[in-house]
Structure 1
């Protein structure tokens, strides 16, 4: 990838002192590790809507599906003001070519789930979505989104970042050459990656790519939502074992008895949770280079994102 992946992010996560108390919530992984591979577009709804720093804290009040945004002590409401600002900001973000967004958890403006909503008795219920986050997800329904807190979960982190890199590759393909052949090539290279997310979606996407009755534009328009749907399905040990065994079949006439036994043992160790996914994938990569296996050499599944991110090193 020639250009960095552009993603939106809550500005406080980058260390900007924009929170209500004048502080920040700098996230070392996002800034120092993922930040080497992405270009962030920071957004702070509360500052950008014109509020000072520091400021009175805000909270969501009323119904979870349509809450009001009010100041916690004075009770002043800025719901319409925030919604109006968000509508304009979202139009601006359309020109940023974003591949995703990372929100600040629990924020009444930016939390994407489980934000506190206070009822008329002052009781808090973790059922809300931040005003800006709700508007963003409705405006960009196909973009991967996450919260910094959820990204501490290794599986959620892997799923999200894999989605970012895959969507970037899709954008590059679609922008460079919109042909049936380019779509087939993209799908072919991503087949095993898709299979690791789900067998049914893998088959559905295969049927779509094979359709001759659709125009090129119709194919591209129909393919992206299915790709996004696939990427949102979490891969599992069982699904990855299926892919690993599938790849092993490409070496049936090349591996020695010892090499095949070693590969099967490593896959079983992964299946039992004794080693992380990076171990069998590294061995498959070794055999792919050693025996110059043409189909596997082009499979994104073997190198879907930089090793430095260590996304496959967890159990």
Structure 2
């Protein structure tokens, strides 16, 4: 009997239930996700949650908003009377989500929501007047505090190609990290893990690339659990930094250096020209990366073959195809 290959598990991400098509908003409606959110939900194992429904608020229900003074505590109160305070239940629901989905590797929040907004959520004064758009939803803030490594974005911010690419990279990195922890942490495993991620980190934040190398120089002499926590927090923070055309080009030139003896002068020049065209915004990143993959397929290099930078997420997401 023919055996089908087992598909590797997809990263698990949470998402606002309204973005998943559930009619759970205060007005008993859903929220149409943009095309980028729809594409991502097809690539991951998605778990929908609605904090407001999760804490027992009805559908439909009176709306809430965030109330607080500059620099003071922000509370989630009912809009009409400010007499009902949902702050603590919404914050506590973050722990419920992490308990129900312990393998969570990312979360797509809901733009502008007083519970699920990533940032720039409206803040109101006690008199009900809007004073600023400068805070984060209560549930979103608690989720970030409960798991500081968890990649978070909202449906609005995911329209930005750079933020979208960073989010997906971090989701797959966290998924990879969880698999490493399941297999068992050790000094050699940690060094090998970073060896695969070096060029991806370099593309996002060179100071972290250098710091992580120094951190692991004496990995065998440090408490592995403490080292692992310092390492993964530094790595994930580095990947939140926006990669630029210049930083990506720097990595591409580093990688092309491994081919200098294998390529002809014409091939080297063609590769350099494509990288330069990408650097000035004339070509998408996928073009020089594809040529590099072609050359390394013809000239295998075990070290480059393992580099996450070459394929940090599935190609069908097309995150490197934009100018």
Relative to the length of structure 1, the TM-score reads: 0.94
* 1:149-168 pair list within 5 angstroms: 149-168=156-175
Residue 65 of structure 2 corresponds to 59
* 1:113-132 pair list within 5 angstroms: 113-124=119-130, 125-132=132-139
- By how many angstroms is 1:217 displaced? 2.4
Distance change (3 Å), C-alpha of 1:168 and 1:203:
same
* 1:84-233 pair list within 5 angstroms: 84=89, 86-87=91-92, 89-91=94-96, 93-94=98-99, 96=101, 97-124=103-130, 125-211=132-218, 212-233=220-241
Please tell me whether the aligned partners of residues 83 and 132 of structure 1 are also in contact (alpha carbons under 8 angstroms): no
Q: 1:276 aligns with which of 262, 284, 290?
A: 284
SS in structure 2 at match of 1:99: strand
- By how many angstroms is 1:173 displaced? 1.4
Residue 40 of structure 1 corresponds to 46
Please tell me whether the aligned partners of residues 60 and 68 of structure 1 are also in contact (alpha carbons under 8 angstroms): yes
Whole-Å Cα distance in 2 between the matches of residues 311 and 67 of structure 1?
A: 36
Whole-Å Cα distance in 2 between the matches of residues 149 and 244 of structure 1?
A: 30
Please tell me whether the aligned partners of residues 154 and 311 of structure 1 are also in contact (alpha carbons under 8 angstroms): yes
Aligned residues: 313
Please tell me whether the aligned partners of residues 69 and 78 of structure 1 are also in contact (alpha carbons under 8 angstroms): yes
Whole-Å Cα distance in 2 between the matches of residues 69 and 219 of structure 1?
A: 38
2:286 matches 1:286: no
SS in structure 1 at match of 2:222: coil
- By how many angstroms is 1:83 displaced? 1.2
Whole-Å Cα distance in 2 between the matches of residues 40 and 224 of structure 1?
A: 24
Distance change (3 Å), C-alpha of 1:243 and 1:31:
closer
Distance change (3 Å), C-alpha of 1:30 and 1:41:
farther
Whole-Å Cα distance in 1 between the matches of residues 152 and 267 of structure 2?
A: 41
* 1:224-303 pair list within 5 angstroms: 224-303=232-311
Please tell me whether the aligned partners of residues 21 and 53 of structure 1 are also in contact (alpha carbons under 8 angstroms): yes
- By how many angstroms is 1:213 displaced? 2.5
Whole-Å Cα distance in 2 between the matches of residues 99 and 197 of structure 1?
A: 19
Residue 50 of structure 1 corresponds to 56
SS in structure 2 at match of 1:305: coil
- By how many angstroms is 1:62 displaced? 2.3
2:24 matches 1:12: no
Stretch deviating more after TM superposition (88-97 or 219-228): 88-97
Whole-Å Cα distance in 1 between the matches of residues 311 and 53 of structure 2?
A: 40
SS in structure 1 at match of 2:233: helix
Which structure 2 residue ranges, 5 or more long, are not aligned?
A: 1-6
- By how many angstroms is 1:172 displaced? 0.7
Please tell me whether the aligned partners of residues 108 and 129 of structure 1 are also in contact (alpha carbons under 8 angstroms): yes
Relative to the length of structure 2, the TM-score reads: 0.92
Distance change (3 Å), C-alpha of 1:28 and 1:116:
closer
Over the aligned positions, Cα root-mean-square deviation in angstroms equals 1.7
- By how many angstroms is 1:137 displaced? 1.2
Please tell me whether the aligned partners of residues 68 and 77 of structure 1 are also in contact (alpha carbons under 8 angstroms): no
Which structure 1 residue ranges, 5 or more long, are not aligned?
A: none
Whole-Å Cα distance in 2 between the matches of residues 165 and 8 of structure 1?
A: 14
Please tell me whether the aligned partners of residues 16 and 26 of structure 1 are also in contact (alpha carbons under 8 angstroms): no
